[in-house]
Each structure stands twice: as structure tokens, then as C-alpha cells.
Amino acid sequence: MKNFITPKELHTLQAQGNLVIIDVRGKGPYEAGHIEGALALDVERDLTKPVEAHGGRHPLPTKDNFAETLRRLGLTITSTVVIYDDWMTGVGRLWWMLRYAGIEDVKVLAGGIGRWQREGYPLTQAVTPNPAPSSFVPQWRENWLVSHDEVVALTASQEKILVDVRAPERYRGEVEPLDPVAGHIPTAINIYYELPYTADGLKPEAELREIFKPLLNSTKKTVLYCGSGITAPIEMLAVDELNIPVALYLGSFSDWISYENAVIATGTETMDD
């Protein structure tokens, strides 16, 4: 697996050194117990900026601010990075942001800290000392990010496949626990972000190919979105495993509905290809 690492593999890398481990669960869980050597990041504090008129519920921090965060962690463009969470919470967002900034060697701990513990590996409460800051200069992958205006255009042209990764009932507009409007972006199909995973990691490739068959059978690039740019990157991890060309509408549905006269669809849609 190119995007995931098992607890056993991480334990081996720990012994070898020369890697950066990042815990993205937040301050409280980190202080209660974390993997030895891990540094801490928080989705709300470090991976977003304050909500504005547009940009959704979890807008990206400015490029300068995120680059400074990466320098504070001592990262370089060639760093080996392993990231983890409770499993399928904030880890996708950080993986996407690190790759967006140009860092290639980023692995997600399959099964999260829960699997790490289930397999008998220890936690510590000792805070990892801050590393020496780096002079990291990001190499932004702009083709990994799709804007609101680009999504408006693709709903008309359908030149790309738009995928809503939220739970089916939210996609269909039957319930909406977080945003003031229910439904989905017109032309989007639905592939729930939890489908590619088990409690221990990614499902076998044959099952992934079945889940993502509509994307594999098309020559179009895929654009993923969710509610606010947190869970769509989790699905992007799995899609990228199959080498399917993919980008993220990070503002997602909460950004889409922030625009006047936003068109909202309900029910289920199928792909035209």
C-alpha cells in the first residue's frame, strides 16, 4: 500500500529513526497517551483558519501559515512522515495538506492508534521535544485543489466526475445535522467515505475496485467533496491507492451553499459517461 503503514512497519521505522510522526487527534488525546516521538497537530487550530463568508466550515489556513507550521515541525520536502488519528477522523485532512504542499513520502497508520494498541505497541505521555525549525519551501500541487467556480463549471460540463462522500441519507437530502440546507451538489454521485475501510485499514484491492468501479470505468478525472473538507480526503486516500486521477473541492457542501442562489439537488443521481 502506497499511502498506508501497519503498526509493525511503523515500529520498525521508529527503531531506524529519520522520520517524523504526527498525531492529529488534538491536545487532550495526545496528552493522555501517544506514540513515542510523535508531534501533535490539531485540525481546528493548525489545519483550518477562522470561518469566513465562503470557504466552508473548515477553510484552509493561508499558505504562509501552513508553511510556517511545517517549518515548526522541522519538515523538509524529502521528509518521511507517518501520521495517525483515532482512525478516519482528521488524518485524511493532514495527509492531503502535506501532499498538497509537495511532500511525497507521507504514510497513514492503518487502523489508527487503536490498532497500534491492539497489536501490543506502547503509548507514552512524555511530550516530544520540539525539533529544530526547518527552512521548508512548499511546492504546491494546485491540481489537487478545485475551486467553487470550477465546480460550478463542471456541474454544467460534467467533464469531471463529482463524488459526494457523505452518508447516503445526507447526500439524498433526507437529513442534515451540520449545515442549514440538505441535499447535494447537482450531478454528484455518492460513494460513502467509510466504504473502503475496515477497523484495521484499507479493504483488499478487489473490493476497492468494486466500490470505485464508476471511477475506474471512466476516463474523466474525479473531484471529491464532503461537508467541509475533512472526510473527503479520507476517501481520497483510498482512491489514490488505485491511481485514479483525483482532486478535492475542499470547501465542499458547506462552501457550496454559502453562495447566493446555490442550486441544491436531492435524491440519487447516476453518472453520465
What are the C-alpha distances in Å from 120 to residues 8, 40, 113, 115?
A: 10, 22, 11, 9
From the list 226, 234, 246, 257, the catalytic residue is 226
Check if 28 is active-site: no
Who's near 227: CB < 8 A, 6+ residues apart? 56, 57, 166, 170, 178, 179, 252, 253, 254
CB 226 within 8 A of CB 251: no
Task: Tell me the backbone φ, ψ of residue 5, rounded to 5 degrees.
Answer: -140, 140
Which strands, in side-by-side order, build the sheet including 4-5?
A: 4-5, 106-109, 81-84, 20-23, 38-40
Q: For residues 10 and 12, what is the distance between their CA atoms, to the nearest angstrom?
A: 5
The catalytic residue positions are: 226
